[in-house]
Amino acid sequence: MATQLSRKEKAVEIAKILDNLYPETPIPLDHQDTYTLLIAVLLSAQCTDERVNKITPLLFEEADTPQEMVNLGMERIKEIIRPCGLSPQKSKAIFELSKILIEKYDGKVPDSFEALEALPGVGHKTASVVMSQGFGVPAFPVDTHIHRLAYRWGLSTGKNVVQTEKDLKRLFPEQDWNKIHLQIIFYGREHCPARGHKVDECSICSQYMRKSLIPKK
Q: Which residues are catalytic?
A: 125, 143
State the Cα–Cα distance between residues 131 and 113, nearest whole angstrom: 7
List own/partner pairs for 139-143 with CB under 8 A and 24 or more apart: 139/177, 139/178, 139/181, 140/165, 140/168, 140/169, 140/172, 140/177, 140/180, 140/181, 141/165, 141/181, 142/168, 142/181, 143/185
Cβ-based neighbour number of residue 50 at 10 Å = 9
State the Cα–Cα distance between residues 101 and 182, nearest whole angstrom: 27
Q: How far is CA 117 from CA 124, 126, 167, 196, in A?
A: 6, 8, 21, 36
State the Cα–Cα distance between residues 197 and 199, nearest whole angstrom: 6
HSE toward the beta carbon, residue 105, CA cutoff 13 A: 19
